[in-house]
Structures are given as structure tokens and as C-alpha cells.
């Protein structure tokens, strides 16, 4: 924690960056994202087991971009977010300075995205035990059982779009659910409308999801919707050898056409 | 005049069964395996009594997240048959166990939906619903009802208020005609008792700020930088609005298959970027700080001015569900100190 504060202070004093995005104390015992712009505020930065939010979501936020050059306190999912955003042309190469926290909790600074790529090649964050367990349970289900499981879960969705808003990869200015001419997805929270939304979301994140699990944590009704995008990532890896957030130049899995595609229907 | 009664713990199930026998639809807090939520219940054992507050408010029962306003069909001879919203088709409903803050929340909705023209579906649902509220003997760090001018034993908005007293029995205040009608068939279950002081049985909720002072302050803070600062970490989802008992933003849309269709109303939120997007492409609330400011102003300035009620009841649900820990108490305390 002291390393982060010290480095943030230096960076702000030297005006190397204009803002350090990190975590600070919130109300009660909760933490929240903070945006440090003055060297004397660097001591407000914290990092502990409560800091689970993927704060990479703020890198594309209008008000935050407005501050200028940013450094960000980055756990492994945030590092992957940076590379994936770069590969999707949402961040310029080396635009963001990464104050990384390794899986072991060690502070490590990454001056370039190339150094991030090298680091992440050694491994990324594993699924949590409870996610592994639930994923295995769902995998073991028959198709009809799985359908029943998801329709029951998704019927509770209130369509608040916290999953979309909390996801750093959902940066579209206008989401497909917000189109009404034509209306692709039913707007209200109905059984079919909810399923349509979550399936579309998972498909749009296939091969792009950095597996941070933020959507599931954000959900106010506790739906395990992060498993949908995790599963889509797994499929993208198996079928297209694509893993999101490991390279700043990864071709988009679902919108890349190759003349030598192994599937015939597309030729 | 309020009648005061005692409902024995052992009589509650009989009361429940009698309401069921009268064909009433009953909503009560039920544990769905993850959260306590208001659910249609058919078994008394399903009702949870030991809980602080439900994850979502009871708003959904009188102002459903999705409901049809009318349907239409194009007949073979090209004429149109219109099927209007039918208030008579709604069931007689009883909400058992909502907290006093939710009862106040429904009064806020009533103020919105019944100022000038009455909103027919809302009024119809409200009129058909009897509110049996249970006072709070527990709270958590997000509760701040007492900062909004009422408290854990307030009767505002309830037809019957039950306060858990000794031995798990309930001190019942029968507050309205609706409340009286509800116990009419069960008068033997409700013993007469003298009016009593409920205070020892209620949780003490420390006030966090003064809402009238907030209202006053907002008068000169519209262009203050605090709105940008407070909302920097807001990600602009609708979670806070959808769990809020007093948020009433909605959208009206049509679904049509060429021969028939319907118009419906569904929840919307002023925190979502597209809420104020014009057809021209112009958006008067372009950035999140403007939307956050709107949320606070609507609840603490515009509503008290226009509808004479505050748009926040102090249930703290918005803070509980917020994925990024925007905390309304923290933000209002900041306003208080400006």
C-alpha cells in the first residue's frame, strides 16, 4: 500500500500523470474508486481484499478522460482490461500507466503495455472456488435442466443494466438494447426480454471478456451472469484460440473473417 | 381514530389463512435462497419475520416494473378493437410485513401519480391494496429514516401497523377504513388493548442529516462542483432507482406484430444516459454528474416543492445495492457541510 501511495505522489508531483485512479475508503466499511489529482491526496489510496471492483471501467468514462493522462492501480483483471481496450482501439498504446498488483499482492509498475503483455503471459487470475463449483454444476446439467436453471435465474433480472454499466468492455455509446428502430430486444423486464438481453450480452462479450466477474458482483439480485461470459470466453479459447486481454493487438474473435476459415458455411 | 389491538403470535397464522380464504392475494417477505424479497405467498411458513429489510421495495406491487396499459387488435374488416386497462381485473391484495419506510415510499409514489391527473393503473392497484406494515426492531448502517422526518414505528402510509412487542405478539394500530375492513372477519383474533408507548420496542435509528436543511441548501448548489466529485465513481446503471421505493421514472412503449399489439409502461431511470436523449441526438443531461444531481434534486428539492413530500424515505437500499458504493448518506452529509 505504501508503495502505491509513494509512487502515486511522485507521479503527480512530477506531473507525469494528471490523475491516479485507485481505491479509497468509502462509507461504512466499504471501499470506492477514487481519482487522485493532488500529490497530497495520494495517501488516501488503499489496497486490500475489499478492492475487488474492476476500476478499468473508468478509463473510458467521459469525466475521467477529461482529467488527462492517467495511472491506474491495477489488479490482474484491470491489467487485462487495459490491453483489451487497447486492442479495441479504446486506449492508445501506453496511454495509461499501470500500477500493478500481482496475484501475490506485490506492487509492480508497468511502464509500457508490452511489459504488461510479458507479465500476463505467465498466467492470469483463476476462477474463484465458488464460481468453479457452480460452473461444474451447470456443465453437468442436461440441456433442459440448464435451460430451466437459467430461465429461473434470469426471470429475477430487473433490467437495471448494472451488469452492462459495470463492465469495462461495455463502452458502446449506444448499446443494442437502446435501439428502438428496429427494437432488437424487448425493453421491459419480462422473462423473454431478460433472456434476450443476457444472451446478447454474453455473445457480444465472447472472446472479449477479461473474466473479472464484475457483472455478477454488480447484480443487485445476485444472478451468476458472469458465468455466461466466462463460458463464452472458454468457448472462444477452444474454438478460436482467442483469450481476451493478453495482447494489445488481438483480432476481434467474432468479427474477423479469414478466407481459410475451418467452417464451410461462411465461405 | 386509531384503534389499538393485540395480535397474539399464535393467532397470526389464522389471520393469514382467513385472508387467504377471502381470496386475497398476499405478498410477504420470503427468502428466495439469496435475498429476502416480497413475493406472492400461499404458505404461512414461507413468510420471513426476522429480517431488516427486503432487497427490493414493495413498489413493484403497486407500480409494477412492467404492465400493459391497453391492447388492440385489427379485425378482418380493418376495424380496431381496443381493450382498455381493466381495474376490475385486479385482485384484492394485502401486503404483509413491509417496513414503515416502504409505506412512506408508496405515499411518495401516490403523490407523483395522483398530482393533477390520476394515473389509472396506479390508483386502481393502490385502492385494491391493504398495507399491513411491521415496525422495525433492527436496522443497519444504511438506514436513515429518521433523517427524513419519520421513523421505525411511523404509521404514515399504513392501513395497519404491527409492532412486535413481548413474547413475539404484535401491538396493532388499525389506522384506516381499509385496515378496519381487513380485520372485520377476524375480530376475535384481535384483542382490545390500551394505547401504548411503542418506543421500547423500536430500534433507535440515529439521524444522519436533516432533510429540510438539505432542501434549503440545494437552492444555491446547482452549479457546485460537488456533483462532479460525488459522481466520478458512478457508473450510470439503474440499480439504485429500481430498488428505490420512491423512484417513479417510467417509459411508455408499444409492441406490435402487425395485426395486434399493446402499449405498456415499464420502469426507467434518470441515471441512465438515454433517459433524456432527444430524437434530434441532443441530450440535455449529457454526463453522469448531471444525472446524479438530478437524482438528488428531484428527491430533496423538486418533490418537496411540487408534491409536498420528499422523494427519499431513508431505506438505504440504493447504497446497499450500488455496485460501486455510491452512498447516499455520505453524499448528503457532504451537501449538508457545503
Q: Are B96 and B16 within 8 A, CB to CB? A: yes
Contact B323 A26 (CB under 8 A): no
Q: What is the pLDDT of residue A253?
A: 81
Is residue B247 within 8 angstroms of chain A, CB to CB?
no
- CB-based contact A26 B325, cutoff 8 Å: yes
Taking CB atoms and an 8 Å limit, are A63 and B242 in contact across chains? no
Mean pLDDT of B164-172: 94
A180, B253: Cβ pair inside 8 Å? yes
Query: Cβ of A188 under 8 Å from any chain B Cβ?
Result: yes
Rounded to a whole number of angstroms, the distance from the CA of B237 to the nearest CA of chain A is 5
Spatial contact of B121 and B148, defined as CB atoms under 8 Å apart: no
Q: Please tell me if residue B279 touches chain A, with a CB cutoff of 8 Å.
A: no
Nearest chain B Cα distance for residue A109, angstroms: 24
CA–CA gap between residue A10 and residue A3 (Å, rounded):
11
- The verdict on B244 touching A (C-beta cutoff 8 Å) is no
Answer whether residue B107 shows pLDDT above 90.
yes
Q: Are B308 and B247 in contact (CB under 8 A)?
A: no
- DSSP tag of B42: S
In chain B, residues with a C-beta closer than 8 Å to the C-beta of A37 are none
Cβ <8 Å between B272 and A161: yes
Put simply, whether B232 touches A (Cβ < 8 Å) is yes
Which cell numbers hold the place of A207?
Answer: 472472446
CA distance A159 to chain B (A): 8
Contact A63, B289 (CB under 8 A): yes
3-class SS at B264? strand
Q: Which residues of A51-61 are buried (b: 16+ CB within 10 A; e: fewer)?
A: bebbbbbbbbb
Query: In degrees rounded to 5, what are phi and psi of residue B306?
Result: -85, -45
Question: Is the confidence at residue A146, as pLDDT, over 80?
Answer: yes
Residue A74's closest CA among A102, A40, A41? A102
- Residues of chain B in contact with residue A30, where contact means CB-CB under 8 angstroms, are 325, 327
Pairwise CA distance, residues A265 & B16, whole Å = 61
B231-263 pLDDT, tens digit each: 999 999 999 999 999 999 999 999 888 899 999
pLDDT in tens, A180-237: 778 888 888 988 899 999 999 999 999 999 999 999 999 999 999 999 999 999 999 9
Residues A194, A195, A197, CA angle at the centre, nearest 5°?
65
How far, in Å, CA of B213 to CA of B277, rounded? Answer: 32
Residue B6 DSSP SS3: strand
What residues 64-83 of chain B have any CB closer than 8 A to a CB of chain A? Answer: 65-66
Whole-model pTM?
0.93
Put simply, whether B269 touches A (Cβ < 8 Å) is yes
For the cut 90, the answer to whether the pLDDT of residue B60 exceeds it is: yes
Average pLDDT over residues A23-45: 96
Give the residue from B220, B247, B217 showing the smallest Cα distance to B331. Answer: B217
Give the confidence band of A26 by pLDDT, cuts at 50, 70, 90.
very high
In whole angstroms, what is the distance from residue A37 CA to residue A39 CA?
A: 7
Q: Which helix (H) or strand (E) holds A24?
A: strand A19-25
Best interface-test mutation with B: which of A28, A37, A160, A192 has the largest number of B CBs within 10 A?
A160
**Mean pLDDT score across all residues of chain A:** 93
Cβ contact B41:B48 at 8 Å: no
Across the A:B interface, residue pairs with CB atoms under 8 Å apart total 113
- Phi/psi of residue B45, each to 5°? -60, -25
Which of A33, A164, A218 faces B233 most closely, judged by CB atoms? A33
- Cβ-defined contact of A161 to B289 (cutoff 8 Å): no
Mutate to test the interface with A, among B235, B268, B286, B322 (most CBs of A within 10 A): B235
Report the share of chain A in percent with pLDDT over 90: 79
Report residue A117 CA to chain centroid gap. Answer: 17
Distance CA(B327)–CA(B332), nearest Å, equals 9
Q: How confident is the model at residue A160 (pLDDT cuts 50, 70, 90)?
A: very high
With a pLDDT cut of 90, the percent of chain B lying above it is 92
Q: Any idea how long chain A is? A: 267
Q: Would you say residue B332 has pLDDT above 90?
A: yes
| Residue A174 sits at the chain B interface (C-beta within 8 Å) | yes
> Quick check: B323 and A217 CB within 8 A?
yes
For chain A, the domains span: 2-120, 129-255
Q: Which pLDDT value is given to residue B68?
A: 94
Burial class (CB in 10 A: 0-12, 13-18, 19+), A1: middle
The answer to whether residues A53 and A76 touch, using CB atoms and an 8 Å cutoff, is: no
Helix ranges (H only) for chain A are: 2-13, 62-65, 76-87, 113-120, 129-139, 143-154, 162-166, 191-205, 214-218, 226-240
Rg (CA), chain B: 22
CA B249 to chain centre: 13
Residues of chain A neighbouring B264 (CB-CB closer than 8 A) = 188
ipTM value for the complex: 0.93
Q: Give residue B177's pLDDT band: very low, low, confident or very high (50, 70, 90).
A: very high
pLDDT band of residue A82 (cuts 50, 70, 90) is very high
**CA distance to partner chain A, nearest, from residue B166 (Å):** 32
Residues B265 and B251: their CA atoms lie apart, in Å, by: 6
- A176 contacts chain B (CB < 8 A): no
* Contact assignment for A28 to B141 by CB distance below 8 Å: yes
Question: Residue B2 in contact with residue B192, Cβ under 8 Å?
Answer: no
Position A7 scores a pLDDT of 97
CA atoms within 13 A on the CB side of A200: 16
CA–CA separation, B296 and B270 (whole Å): 11
| Prior bond of A34 cis (ω within 30°) | no
> Taking CB atoms and an 8 Å limit, are A188 and B66 in contact across chains?
yes
**pLDDT of amino acid A266:** 73
Average pLDDT, chain B: 95
Closest alpha carbon within chain B to A214? B323
Is B287 touching A (CB cutoff 8 A)?
yes
Amino acid at each position: 500500500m505504501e508503495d502505491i501511495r509513494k509512487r502515486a505522489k511522485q507521479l503527480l508531483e512530477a506531473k507525469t500523470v494528471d490523475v491516479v485512479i485507485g481505491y479509497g475508503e468509502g462509507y461504512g466499511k466499504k471501499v470506492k474508486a477514487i481519482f487522485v489529482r493532488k500529490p497530497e491526496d495520494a495517501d488516501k489510496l488503499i489496497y486490500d481484499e475489499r478492492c475487488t471492483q474492476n476500476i478499468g471501467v473508468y478509463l473510458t468514462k467521459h469525466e475521467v478522460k477529461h482529467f488527462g493522462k492517467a495511472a491506474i492501480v491495477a489488479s490482474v483483471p484491470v491489467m487485462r482490461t487495459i490491453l483489451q481496450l487497447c486492442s479495441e482501439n479504446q486506449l492508445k498504446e501506453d496511454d495509461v500507466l499501470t500500477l500493478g498488483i500481482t496475484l501475490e499482492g506485490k506492487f509492480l509498475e508497468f511502464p509500457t503495455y508490452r511489459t504488461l503483455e510479458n507479465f500476463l503471459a505467465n498466467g492470469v487470475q483463476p476462477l474463484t472456488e465458488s464460481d468453479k463449483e457452480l460452473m461444474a454444476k451447470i456443465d453437468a446439467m442436461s440441456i433442459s435442466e440448464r435451460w430451466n436453471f437459467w430461465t429461473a435465474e434470469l426471470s429475477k433480472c430487473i433490467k437495471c443494466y448494472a451488469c452492462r454499466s459495470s463492465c469495462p468492455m461495455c463502452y458502446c455509446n449506444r448499446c443494442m438494447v437502446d435501439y428502438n428502430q428496429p427494437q432488437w430486444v424487448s425493453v421491459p423486464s419480462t422473462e423473454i426480454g431478460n433472456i434476450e438481453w443476457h444472451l446478447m450480452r454474453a455473445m457480444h462479450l465472447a472472446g472479449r471478456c477479461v473474466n473479472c466477474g464484475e457483472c455478477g458482483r454488480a447484480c443487485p439480485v445476485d444472478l451468476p451472469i458472469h458465468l455466461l461470459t466466462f463460458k463464452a470466453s472458454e468457448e472462444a479459447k477452444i474454438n478460436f484460440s482467442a483469450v481476451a486481454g493478453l495482447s494489445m493487438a488481438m483480432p476481434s474473435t467474432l468479427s474477423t473473417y479469414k478466407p481459410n476459415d475451418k467452417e464451410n458455411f461462411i465461405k | 381514530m386509531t384503534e389499538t389491538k393485540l395480535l397474539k403470535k399464535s393467532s397470526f397464522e389464522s389471520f393469514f389463512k382467513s385472508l387467504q380464504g377471502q381470496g386475497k392475494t398476499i405478498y410477504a417477505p420470503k427468502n428466495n435462497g439469496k435475498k429476502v424479497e416480497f413475493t406472492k405467498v400461499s404458505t404461512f411458513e414461507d413468510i420471513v419475520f426476522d429480517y431488516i429489510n427486503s432487497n427490493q421495495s414493495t413498489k413493484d406491487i403497486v407500480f409494477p416494473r412492467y404492465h400493459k396499459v391497453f391492447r388492440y387488435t385489427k379485425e378482418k374488416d380493418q376495424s380496431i378493437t381496443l381493450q382498455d386497462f381493466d381495474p376490475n381485473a385486479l385482485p384484492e391484495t394485502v401486503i404483509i410485513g413491509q417496513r414503515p419506510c416502504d409505506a412512506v415510499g408508496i405515499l411518495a409514489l401516490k403523490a407523483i401519480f395522483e398530482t393533477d391527473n390520476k394515473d389509472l393503473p396506479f390508483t386502481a392497484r393502490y385502492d385494491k391494496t391493504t398495507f399491513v406494515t411491521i415496525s422495525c426492531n433492527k436496522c443497519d448502517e444504511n438506514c436513515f429514516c429518521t433523517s427524513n422526518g419519520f421513523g421505525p414505528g411511523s404509521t404514515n402510509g399504513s392501513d395497519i401497523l404491527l409492532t412486535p412487542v413481548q413474547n413475539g405478539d404484535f401491538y396493532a394500530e388499525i389506522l384506516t377504513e381499509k385496515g378496519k375492513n381487513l380485520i372485520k372477519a377476524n375480530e376475535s383474533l384481535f384483542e382490545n388493548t390500551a394505547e401504548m408507548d411503542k418506543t421500547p420496542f423500536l430500534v433507535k435509528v440515529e439521524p444522519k442529516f436533516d432533510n429540510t436543511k438539505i432542501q434549503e441548501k440545494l437552492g444555491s448548489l446547482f452549479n457546485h462542483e460537488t456533483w462532479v466529485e460525488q459522481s466520478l465513481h458512478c457508473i450510470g446503471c439503474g440499480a439504485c432507482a429500481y430498488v428505490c421505493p420512491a423512484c417513479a421514472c417510467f417509459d411508455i412503449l408499444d409492441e406490435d406484430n402487425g395485426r395486434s399489439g399493446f402499449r405498456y409502461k415499464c420502469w426507467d431511470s434518470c441515471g441512465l444516459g438515454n433517459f433524456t436523449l432527444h430524437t434530434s441526438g441532443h441530450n440535455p443531461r449529457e454526463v453522469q454528474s448531471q444525472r446524479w444531481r438530478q437524482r438528488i434534486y428531484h428527491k430533496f428539492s423538486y418533490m418537496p416543492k411540487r408534491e409536498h413530500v420528499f422523494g427519499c424515505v431513508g431505506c438505504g437500499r440504493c447504497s446497499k445495492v450500488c455496485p460501486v458504493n455510491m452512498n447516499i448518506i455520505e453524499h448528503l452529509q457532504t451537501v449538508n457541510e457545503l
